């Protein structure tokens, strides 16, 4: 995703065609003879092949944005595709690790050559700060888009964490390791199944350290009892104080896990996400996994805040970026489709199976909210398999046309994320209403073109998301691509 990462897979600012033309021009000027000319033409072709943009990367990034829009705006109607209330994995739960995975892949290309470490570190730090700024602005509570036309946030309740903030942390750590190890990185990788792991051992060491920090903290930290005041205007429980009894270690349940405890201590309970998905769990409502009335015997934590992009879980998510940068290294060093796909698919299926085993043996359940190790493995393996599938279809078989809209969205991922996924463009349109805010163009289209025609709120909402959001942004991104307009941090 283009949230602070380079998306180009080429060696420099010139496109592959121009790069090859430049080499061919030098060959003609030299004119050392027919044999020499043939040799240089071969070199030019090799340069062109190496510098060719891998379209599967853009398509993967675009797919991630599309899924995000679908589950964010369609998940309310079809809650089974929304985030899992606790353990388990739904379509929405693939979005974050897919983002981090493709961030890692992009870092491998962006920092393939680091001529000046100081300049690279400065660039990495600046991009990280930009992502943090946009993350707090969009998800900290300042923007209420798209339906609420007001703006502003009470600093006593600002949310410090979010999607872009997590991406910023992972990008910062993974990119710094890649930059600082530039002198010990090999230009070629020796043969052997483990050679590429050894060549980039420092990157894996960084991922392993994050894994150890997460695991040790999760299973050793003592979580005491805690309390909170529930705030929801008009609710019967508004203003009431609740106490959650814990006093345990190594808990992976909703109330007493170390992930939530650290966020309450570091950020403060008033700065956490106030609508956690666990309110749709069986302990909280009989309608689970859908939203429904609160059970009479629902535990106190059902109404408590929880940060799904918190500090400890974000440390665990560094491993998702590490897996992604490994796939990028494979793409750089392995020159044939067969070599790349063999490594990608073997690792992808191995991670997928490991995650499934950990989950179904109840050793470590797959859990997006905690960003558990089994979740890292399962989603990392799925990302590798999906990227491999795109690579086969688009870059090997040449079936590019059906996936062009994903490529276009992937090339302008930051713009589509801000204007589309975060509802900024919809909020702008909603700002031009007639008589009342619920009489805007967006509301009229949803009601009269989709809901009333199909006589279904759920189906109408889903079709609106598909045609007026996903298809719209695919076309818009395609036009911007033709015009050469991209938004990068």
State residue 18's pLDDT score. Answer: 37
* pLDDT range class, residue 45, cuts 50, 70, 90: very low
Neighbour count for residue 137 (Cβ, 10 Å): 16
Tokens read off for 13? 């600012």
What is the per-residue pLDDT across 127-155, written as a single tens digit (0 to 9) for each?
A: 999 999 999 999 998 988 887 888 899 89
Element (H, E) at 458: helix 457-464
* pLDDT range class, residue 42, cuts 50, 70, 90: very low
* pLDDT range class, residue 119, cuts 50, 70, 90: very high
Res 103 pLDDT > 90: yes
Neighbour count for residue 26 (Cβ, 10 Å): 11
Is the previous residue joined to 240 through a cis bond, with omega within 30 degrees of 0? no
Kindly compute the dihedral angle of the four CA atoms of residues 382, 385, 391, 393, in this order, to the nearest 10 degrees: -100
Tokens read off for 296? 């009479």
* pLDDT range class, residue 3, cuts 50, 70, 90: very low
What is the per-residue pLDDT across 301-322, written as a single tens digit (0 to 9) for each?
A: 999 999 999 999 999 999 999 9
* pLDDT range class, residue 300, cuts 50, 70, 90: very high
* pLDDT range class, residue 248, cuts 50, 70, 90: very high
CA distances from 329 to 168, 179, 313, 332 (A): 21, 14, 25, 5
The string of DSSP codes covering 22-88 is HHHHHHHHH---HHHHHHHHHHHHHHHHHH---HHHHHHHHHHHHHHHHHHHHTTTSGGGS--SSBS
Res 21 pLDDT > 70: no
Q: Which residue has the higher pLDDT, 4 or 371?
A: 371
Neighbour count for residue 354 (Cβ, 10 Å): 17
Neighbour count for residue 121 (Cβ, 10 Å): 15
CB 178 within 8 A of CB 108: yes
Tokens read off for 110? 């962006």
Neighbour count for residue 42 (Cβ, 10 Å): 10
State residue 261's pLDDT score. Answer: 97
3 state SS for 122-139: HHHHHHHHHHHHHHHHHH
- Across the range 258-281, mean pLDDT stands at 95
State residue 46's pLDDT score. Answer: 43
Alpha-carbon distance 472 to 458, whole Å?
Answer: 20
Distant-in-sequence, close-in-space partners of 35: CB < 8 Å, separation ≥ 6: none
* pLDDT range class, residue 123, cuts 50, 70, 90: very high
Res 224 pLDDT > 70: yes
Pick from 106-110, 236-240, 283-287, 415-419: least confident: 236-240
Tokens read off for 164? 């872009």
Tokens read off for 225? 């009892």
CB 306 within 8 A of CB 276: yes
- Summary mean pLDDT of the chain: 88
- Across the range 270-294, mean pLDDT stands at 92
Closest CA to 332 of 199, 205, 194: 199
What is the per-residue pLDDT across 397-407, written as a single tens digit (0 to 9) for each?
A: 999 999 999 99
Res 49 pLDDT > 80: no
- Across the range 167-174, mean pLDDT stands at 97
CB 74 within 8 A of CB 463: no
State residue 22's pLDDT score. Answer: 38
Please report, rounded to a whole number, the percentage of residues in the chain having pLDDT higher than 70: 89
What is the per-residue pLDDT across 326-371, written as a single tens digit (0 to 9) for each?
A: 999 999 999 899 999 999 999 999 999 999 999 999 999 999 999 9
State residue 77's pLDDT score. Answer: 86
State residue 47's pLDDT score. Answer: 40
Report the residue count for the chain: 489
Res 41 pLDDT > 70: no
State residue 39's pLDDT score. Answer: 47
Res 164 pLDDT > 90: yes
* pLDDT range class, residue 114, cuts 50, 70, 90: confident
Q: Which residue has the higher pLDDT, 488 or 376?
A: 376
Q: For residue 367, what are the β-bridge partners?
A: 87
Q: For residue 242, what are the β-bridge partners?
A: 228
State residue 464's pLDDT score. Answer: 94
Give the DSSP letter of residue 155.
Answer: T
CA distances from 353 to 137, 173, 252, 320, 356 (A): 38, 27, 21, 16, 5
- Across the range 19-28, mean pLDDT stands at 35
């Amino acid at each position: 995703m283009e949230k602070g990462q380079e998306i180009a897979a080429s060696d420099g600012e010139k496109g592959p065609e121009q790069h090859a033309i430049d080499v061919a021009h030098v060959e003609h000027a030299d004119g050392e003879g027919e044999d020499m000319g043939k040799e240089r033409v071969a070199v030019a072709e090799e340069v062109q092949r190496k510098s060719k943009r891998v379209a599967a990367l853009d398509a993967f990034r675009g797919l991630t944005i599309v899924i995000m829009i679908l589950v964010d705006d369609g998940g309310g109607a079809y809650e089974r595709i929304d985030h899992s209330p606790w353990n388990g994995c739904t379509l929405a739960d693939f979005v974050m690790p897919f983002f981090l995975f493709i961030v890692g892949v992009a870092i491998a290309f962006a920092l393939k050559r680091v001529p000046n470490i100081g300049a690279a570190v400065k660039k990495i730090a600046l991009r990280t700060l930009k992502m943090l700024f946009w993350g707090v602005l969009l998800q900290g509570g300042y923007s209420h888009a798209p339906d609420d036309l007001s703006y502003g946030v009470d600093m006593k309740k600002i949310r410090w964490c979010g999607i872009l903030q997590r991406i910023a942390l992972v990008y910062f750590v993974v990119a710094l390791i890649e930059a600082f190890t530039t002198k010990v990185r090999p230009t070629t990788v020796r043969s052997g199944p483990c050679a590429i792991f050894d060549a980039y051992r420092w990157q894996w060491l960084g991922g392993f350290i994050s894994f150890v920090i997460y695991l040790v903290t999760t299973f050793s930290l003592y979580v005491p009892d805690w309390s909170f005041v529930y705030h929801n205007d008009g609710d019967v429980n508004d203003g009431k104080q609740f106490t959650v009894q814990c006093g345990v270690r190594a808990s992976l349940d909703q109330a007493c896990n170390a992930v939530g405890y650290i966020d309450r201590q570091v950020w403060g309970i008033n700065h956490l996400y106030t609508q956690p998905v666990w309110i749709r769990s069986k302990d909280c409502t009989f309608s689970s996994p859908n939203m429904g009335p609160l059970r009479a015997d629902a535990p106190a934590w059902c109404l408590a805040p929880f940060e799904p992009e918190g500090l400890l879980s974000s440390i665990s998510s560094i491993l998702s970026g590490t897996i992604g940068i490994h796939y990028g290294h494979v793409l750089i060093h392995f020159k044939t489709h067969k070599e790349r796909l063999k490594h990608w698919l073997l690792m992808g299926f191995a991670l997928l199976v490991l995650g499934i085993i950990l989950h179904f043996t109840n050793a470590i359940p797959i859990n997006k909210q905690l960003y558990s190790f089994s979740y890292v493995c399962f989603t990392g393996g799925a990302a590798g398999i999906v990227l491999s599938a795109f690579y086969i279809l688009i870059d090997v078989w040449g079936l590019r046309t059906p996936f062009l809209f994903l490529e276009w969205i992937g090339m302008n991922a930051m713009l589509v994320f801000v204007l589309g996924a975060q509802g900024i463009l919809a909020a702008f349109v909603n700002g031009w209403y007639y008589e009342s805010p619920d009489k805007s163009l967006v509301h009229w289209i949803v009601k009269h073109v989709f809901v009333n025609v199909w006589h279904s709120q759920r189906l109408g909402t889903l079709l609106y998301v598909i045609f007026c959001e996903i298809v719209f942004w695919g076309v818009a991104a395609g036009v911007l691509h033709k015009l050469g307009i991209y938004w990068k941090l």
